[in-house]
Amino acid sequence: MIANNIFKAIGDFFTNVLFSPLNSIRFSDNWWLQSTVSWIFIIIAFGFFFYWLGQIQKYKKAGNE
């Protein structure tokens, strides 16, 4: 019973607190505002990808294959 309440509390927290700014963006009619979050995530993903490729090249240059 306690575990069920904990999971409900976590779900409620994410739904009503953390995702509330995204709900306000979702219902707006501005495409640029809605797509900004996606573009930020894409830029972060590319940054991590290129960092990872650089680390692989350092690893290979050190003679570790």
CB 34 within 8 A of CB 25: yes
Backbone phi, then psi, for 62, in 5-degree steps? -75, -5
Residues contacting residue 25 through CB under 8 Å, at least 6 positions apart: 33, 34, 37
Annotated domain spans of the chain: 2-61
For residues 38 and 54, what is the distance between their CA atoms, to the nearest angstrom?
Answer: 25
Report if pTM > 0.85: no
- The sign one gets for the Cα dihedral 43, 47, 53, 56 is negative
In this predicted model, what pLDDT tens digit does every residue of 6-55 receive, in sequence order?
A: 999 999 999 999 988 888 888 888 899 889 989 999 999 999 999 999 99
